[in-house]
Structure 1
Amino acid sequence: MDMTVTGIGSVVVAELRAAGYMESTIGNYEKSIRALTQLADGRGGKYTPALGAEFAAMTISPRTGRFSVQRRFDYGRLVRVFNSYVTTGRVELACCTRGGGGPRPVSREFVRLVGAWEADMADRALASATRDAYGRVARDYLVFLEAGGIRRLRDADGASVLSYLNSLTATWKTSSLFWVVSNFRPFLKFTGRSDLVDALGLAGLKRSHRIVPALPDEAQRLIVQACATPAIPARDAAITLLAVTTGLRACDIISLLRDDIDWRARTASLVQQKTHNPLTVPLTDLVVDRLAEYVLDQRPDSPDEHLFVRSVAPHTRLADHATVHRVITTVFRRAGVADVLGSTRLLRHNAATRLLRASVPLPTIAAVLGHARPKSTDLYLSVDVVRLLDCVLDVPAGARP
């Protein structure tokens, strides 16, 4: 097996073409391979993981003299592919998101702590999105401690928790910091440091329940109308219509398998990622039509059993919530709905609100949305203005001015 940079590079390029990658993407790989070849020329031309690590660390652009996000992404991506070939003899083309999940601590104790925390979350089978959120804030806190000269958790105190939260105010809205606290608390409990957990309470951050409005009738009409036309790709139309008509969460749309669709019964059955409860939702004729068009005519040839896959190679399942958000936002824009944020959270509220306006009982709405607790549905009462007005009491005549 040729283990030179040029030898491995030719195998990688061939695999990229065989997998259906766009020529522009292959060109970026070839550009990185040429740069790696130059680095290896003075060292016999052979590739090693140590050489790859040195190459991936070359993140300063010689043109600007500054850190380059694009260079870090391109070089790091190539090194991962080369390392997979050296280790397994196969070219692994799995996707990797930009940014790598944020900064990571470097001290020995903190690295072990992060590993133990990630293993614990995996053992408890937490949803991928939950593990990402919990892991990111835990690593960010440990990096914050390291920046302050703290390398051991026993040297941290409650004040460090408050200082960490205060450091986020420059980039986070105060109303959003509650979500940081929610994602932070499980990690601090895992460490067994009750004093750090108590410090979170001293921050006094409260959850705000913003009332999310329903889609205006005209906006929904435009969206559904656009999804019925060939102007919207069948995959994107089906994803948007699923969110609009069923209120499915983004994580559940991503996790749908081809076998989850019952074409005769016109339903989709799944186990929810958030609650782990089974759920079956009905599908409208338009959803079924666009899904069938996607599966039969437009879905790339892929062994991946997930219903929705990437439209460009590698043709694997959609990556994350951001992917679904981009799809829906693009559909909204093409439908002429530019003043509404295209998110599954909005569409979930929209589906619930429209069911409520149609006099569907709350237990039924809770079942359709797959709520683990019926009380979770009570939030949607706040958007039914007509019925709320029926609850307003008349002011006694004697109390009027």
Structure 2
Amino acid sequence: MKKKLDELTDEVLNELEASGYSKLTRDNFRYFWNGMIRYFESQNIYEFNTKIAMEYLEIRSSKTDLRKHSKNFIKRAIFILDHYNNYGEIPLRCYTPITKSNNPQYIEILNDYGKHLAEGEYSSRTIEGYLKNVVGFIQFLEENEYLCIDEWSAEIMFKYIETLSEFKKATIKHKTGSLRLFLRYLYLENIIKEDLSQYIGTIRGTYHQKLPSFWTKNEVNQLLAAIDQNNPNEKRDYAMILLVARLGLRSSDVKKLKFENLHWKENQIVIIQSKTGEPLTLPLLRDVGWAIIDYVQNARPKVDNQHVFLRHLPPYAELSERNHLYKTIEKYMIRAKLPISAKKRNGMHSLRHSLATTLMEENIALSNISDILGHTSVDSTSIYLNVDINRLRDCALDVNKLGVKQDGKL
């Protein structure tokens, strides 16, 4: 049974307080929600409904000249209620379609589509990416006054695609892919009568792979030595960085690591990779294991949460998927006096690249490196051949032995 609106807002306010929101922010939310509750009651509606909430916002906007900042804050208040009502949690970041559109029909469709994606096996980052691209399409429709979904046609799709010409090829591929998925959903749900996804072409082509950024062994050791292992926060960071630098785990898998994944008797870490969905088993190296034990026993917040690594400020929850830990690495780079270059990526993933490069230099077979990194294909691993200078040198042709003539012919 769904909660009544006043019960929902009270519960959300308590969660906001526990999450560290300021009293001023909570009071501003409470002020808006109280007015919204009165409007719902005047319509004999007692449960939360996004469409009715947006109607109330429009009525309030028509009576008062709200500034853009105030209007966005109110839309955010509506989104928090909607998200909590559906998922039982306060969103760590308030990106949502309803802050980008003023069309009630489009808002409802976008929210339903967001829920549809959430029911699938997409990560929150993937869902956010899809919604962001679809919102760009919706903004195009509103700017060109295509305000009813029944007006959508192949011609409108072509006009929208023309507006993408200024973007890079990879960006166009992401935007059109997101739109194709969205249009297909609308057709299968009988929201549109024609499958307009057929008019969204597929972007194909060869993409030039960038050489991966990597660290030398000495640089990795300097970085680790710069971490203060007497500091609770840094005990956590040290263990996380070791998992990437020594075992090559993706940062997303480190953040999702649970106690059940640590098989101490077998000295193994066993996970299902968040990116590929494939199982991965890695050795629990001695220094990595002791770093995890030190963190759990001496620094980890004493809360009931199955994730190994937690935030150290309320709420004591697992780390956000959107936190790529770049600033964490950068902090220790500065402390270790390691160079920071705009041309070189210095995030957690670069440590993963470094492990692959080191293994390559030690003549570990490419297939074994692929298994360690959890790649589904050796092709994904082969890019590290490009940074193995010694092996490239071995592949170089000896021009003298080829018998090249003065005219350049063999």
* CA contact 2:15–2:90 (8 Å) conserved in 1: no
Which is further off, 345-354 or 361-370? 345-354
1:324 aligns with 2:325: yes
CA deviation after TM superposition for structure 1 residue 186, in Å: 4.0
The 3 A distance-change label for structure 1 pair 122 and 355 is same
Partner of 1:252: 253
SS at match of 1:270: strand
Cα RMSD between the aligned structures?
Answer: 4.4
Task: Measure, in 2, the Cα distance between the counterparts of 1:335 and 1:57.
Answer: 56
Q: 1:363 to 1:82 in 2, by over 3 A?
A: closer
One-letter code aligned to 1:103: K
CA distance in 1, matches of 2:8, 2:163: 45
Listed one character per residue, the Cα deviations across residues 360-396 of structure 1 (whole Å, up to 9, x for unaligned) are 1111111111111222211211111110111111223
Task: From 90, 104, 108, give the equivalent of 2:105.
Answer: 108
Q: Does 1:293 align with 2:294?
A: yes
Q: Judging changes above 3 Å, is the alpha-carbon distance between structure 1 residues 386 and 184 closer, same or farther for their aligned structure 2 residues? A: farther
| More divergent stretch after superposition (212-221 vs 376-385) | 212-221
Q: Please give the alpha-carbon distance, in whole angstroms, between the structure 1 residues aligned to 2:357 and 2:240.
A: 20
Residue 404 of structure 2 is matched in structure 1 by 398
CA distance in 1, matches of 2:372, 2:396: 29
Q: In the TM superposition, what are the counterparts of 1:334-353 in structure 2 within 5 Å?
A: 334-339=335-340, 341-353=345-357
Task: Give distance in 1, aligned partners of 2:208 and 2:311.
Answer: 35
SS in 2 for 1:399: coil
Name the counterpart of 2:309.
Answer: 308
Deviation at 1:210?
Answer: 0.7
> Could you tell me how far 1:359 is from its partner in structure 2?
1.0
Alignment of 1:149 onto 2:145: yes
Answering whether residue 138 of structure 2 is matched by residue 138 of structure 1, we say no
Alpha-carbon distance between aligned partners in 2 of 1:211 and 1:343, rounded to the nearest angstrom: 15
Amino acid at match of 1:163: E
Q: Does the alignment pair 1:268 with 2:269?
A: yes
Deviation at 1:10, TM superposition (A): 9.2
Q: Deviation of residue 240 (structure 1)? A: 1.8
TM-score (norm 2): 0.73
Write the distance in 2 (CA, Å) between the matches of 1:103 and 1:52.
15
Structure-1 separation of matches of 2:58 and 2:329: 34
Give the drift of 1:284.
3.2
Matched, 1:282 2:283: yes
Pairs within 5 Å for 1:1-400: 19=18, 25-29=21-25, 32=28, 67-68=68-69, 72=72, 94-100=90-96, 103-104=100-101, 106=103, 108=105, 111-112=108-109, 115-116=112-113, 119=116, 121-122=117-118, 124-150=120-146, 151=149, 152-154=151-153, 156-166=155-165, 169=166, 177-181=172-176, 183-187=178-182, 192-193=195-196, 195-198=198-201, 200-201=202-203, 207-227=207-227, 229-231=229-231, 233-339=234-340, 341-395=345-399, 396-399=402-405
Cα 1:329–1:267 change in 2 (3 A) is: farther
Q: Number of residues paired by the alignment?
A: 377
Offset from partner CA, 1:119-142 (integer Å, 9 cap, x none): 2x4454233332322232123223
**Distance change >3 Å, CA 126–CA 157, structure 1 → 2:** same
Paired amino acid for 1:352: A
Q: Which runs of 5+ in 2 are unaligned?
A: 188-194
TM-fit CA distance, 1:182: 5.2
Residue range with higher mean Cα deviation, 312-321 or 146-155: 146-155
Query: How far apart in 2 are the matches of 1:155 and 1:178?
Result: 18
- Sequence identity percentage: 22
TM-score (norm 1): 0.74
CA distance in 2, matches of 1:37, 1:132: 26
Residues 105 and 111 in structure 1, CA contact (< 8 A), matched pair in contact too: no
Counterpart contact for 1:105–1:142, Cα < 8 Å: no
Distance 1:344 1:392 in 2: 33
Higher mean C-alpha displacement, 110-119 vs 236-245: 110-119
Distance apart, 1:323 and its partner CA: 4.5
Distance 2:197 2:9 in 1: 52
Question: Given that residues 13 and 30 in structure 2 are in contact (C-alpha distance below 8 angstroms), is that contact kept between their aligned partners in structure 1?
Answer: no
CA separation in 1, counterparts of 2:273 and 2:251? 11
C-alpha distance in 2 between matches for 1:110 and 1:10: 25
Counterpart secondary structure, 1:281: strand
Gaps of 5+ in 1: none
The residue type paired with residue 403 of structure 2 is A
How far is the alpha carbon of 1:266 from its aligned partner? 3.5
- The residue number in structure 1 matching 2:190 is none
CA–CA separation in structure 2 for the residues paired with 1:110 and 1:162: 22
| In structure 2, C-alpha distance between the alignment counterparts of 1:206 and 1:337, rounded to whole Å | 35
Give the 3 Å change call, closer, same or farther, for CA 306–339 of structure 1 in structure 2. same
